[in-house]
Amino acid sequence: MTVREETQRLESEMLAPWAARSAQTRGRSRPEEECQLRTPYQRDRDRVIHCKSFRRLKHKTQVFLSPEGDHYRTRLTHTLEVSQIARTIARALRLNEDLTEAVALAHDLGHTPFGHAGERALNALLPKGFRHYEQSVRVVDRLEKDGRGLNLTWEVKNGILCHTTGLEADTAEGRIVRWADKIAYINHDIDDAIRAGVLQEGDIPKNITQTLGDSKTKRITALISSVVANSREGDIAMDERTLRAFEELNDFMYQAVYLNEYAKKEERKVPHIIQSLYLHFKDPKYLPDYMRQIAAEEGPEVAACDYVAGMTDHFAVACYKELFIPKAWNLVM
**Amino acid code (one letter) for 103:** V
> Looking at the domain assignment, is residue 166 inside a domain?
yes
Report if residue 146 sits inside a domain.
yes
- Interhelix angle 97-106/154-161, nearest 10 degrees: 50
Below-50 pLDDT ranges, the chain: none
| Dist CA 27 CA 155 (whole Å) | 8
Query: In total, how many domains does the chain have?
Result: 1
Domain contains 332: no
Please tell me the predicted confidence (pLDDT) of residue 234: 94
Q: Alpha-carbon distance 248 to 236, whole Å? A: 20
Q: Which residues pair with 28 in a beta bridge?
A: 153
**pTM value?**
0.95
Instruction: Report the 10 Å Cβ neighbour count for 325.
Output: 7
End-to-end Cα separation, the chain, in angstroms: 79
DSSP track, 286-321? GS-HHHHHHHHHH-HHHHHHHHHHT--HHHHHHHHH
DSSP SS3 for 61: strand
To the nearest 5 percent, what fractions of the chain are helix, strand and coil?
65, 0, 35
Instruction: Judge whether 15 and 24 are in contact, CB under 8 Å.
Output: no
pLDDT of residue 185: 95
With vertex at residue 209, the alpha carbon angle to CA 204 and CA 213, rounded to the nearest 5 degrees, is 125
How many C-alpha atoms does 51 have within 13 Å on its Cβ side?
Answer: 32
The pLDDT tens digits for 270-309 are: 999 999 999 999 999 999 998 999 999 999 999 999 999 9
The answer to whether residue 330 is domain-embedded is no
DSSP-derived secondary structure letter, 139 = I
The predicted structure's pLDDT at residue 68: 63
**Is residue 195 in a domain?**
yes
In tens, the pLDDT along 204-260 reads: 999 999 999 999 999 999 999 999 999 999 999 999 999 999 999 999 999 999 887
CATH number of the domain where residue 265 is located? 1.10.3210.10
> Domain residues for 107?
3-324
Give the per-residue pLDDT at 331.
64
The answer to whether position 72 is within a domain reads yes
Contacts of 270 (CB under 8 A, 6+ apart): 65, 114, 117, 118, 121
331 occurs within a structural domain:
no
In whole angstroms, what separates CA 229 from the centre of its chain? Answer: 26
Indicate the helix (H) or strand (E) that contains 116: helix 115-125
Q: Is residue 29 part of a domain?
A: yes
**Which of 292, 283, 85 lies closest to 187 in space, CA to CA?**
85
